[in-house]
Amino acid sequence: MDPQRQELYEVCQRNGVGITVMKAFGGGDLLSAELSPAGKALTPYQCIHYALTRPAVACVMAGARSMEELEASIAYETAGEEEKDYAAAFASMPKISWQGHCMYCGHCAPCPKEIDVAAVTKLLNLTKAQGSIPETVREHYGALKHKAAECAACGACEKRCPFGVPIVENIKQASRVFGA
């Protein structure tokens, strides 16, 4: 995601402002290998799921030119997690490098210590973007069942991450930042 757009989404998240995403399919370009800027086609499920997992996104307005396209978007609600999974597609996109960037996809789970690694990383990134710990972020972190300080640094999460994120270091940093 464009860094300025990411920052806007994070500001909206911190301030409780919901975002409605339009053009989740890039005007149809993301659904076509020939037109996609990534050089690879995504499925409607992957596009919708990616949009819905960004900070502050409350809903996606999926356009449709036919009843078939509309039904494909509606079917997102009953699609399985594997069908929605965009992580492998993003990791293999030939024109874009996602290496080292957490997409909050959850492939790092399960953590043996039951830490919600994606949530901890997201809250850490929101804090980094702000330059301090916003009260809402502190509250969300405080509500997590398991904190970063519980990490055993076993590295199981890093082995599963398709983006090569330095998760153990991020978790250690979160522990220092949040003090738990």
d(CA 58, CA 111): 27
Number of domains in the chain: 2
| Residue 164: domain span | 117-178
Domain boundary at 45, 68, 86, which? 86
Is the per-residue pLDDT at 163 higher than 90?
A: no
* Domain annotation covers residue 97: no
Same domain, yes or no: 80 and 143: no
Same domain, yes or no: 69 and 122: no
Same domain, yes or no: 81 and 9: yes
* Domain annotation covers residue 23: yes
Confidence of residue 151 (pLDDT cuts 50, 70, 90): very high
Same domain, yes or no: 80 and 13: yes
* Domain annotation covers residue 164: yes
Same domain, yes or no: 20 and 81: yes
* Domain annotation covers residue 166: yes
Same domain, yes or no: 127 and 65: no
Cis previous bond, 110, omega within 30:
yes
Same domain, yes or no: 20 and 76: yes
Lowest mean pLDDT among 55-59, 101-105, 153-157: 101-105
pLDDT digits (tens, 9 = 90+) for 104-121: 888 899 999 999 999 999
* Domain annotation covers residue 42: yes
* Domain annotation covers residue 108: no
pLDDT digits (tens, 9 = 90+) for 3-50: 788 889 989 999 999 999 988 887 777 888 877 767 788 999 999 999
CB within 8 A of 68, min separation 6: which ones?
Answer: none
Same domain, yes or no: 66 and 9: yes
* Domain annotation covers residue 28: yes
* Domain annotation covers residue 137: yes
CA 105 to chain centre: 5
d(CA 120, CA 29): 33
Same domain, yes or no: 7 and 80: yes
Same domain, yes or no: 15 and 72: yes
**Whole-prediction pTM:** 0.60
* Mean pLDDT for all residues in the chain: 89
Domain boundary at 86, 105, 138, which? 86
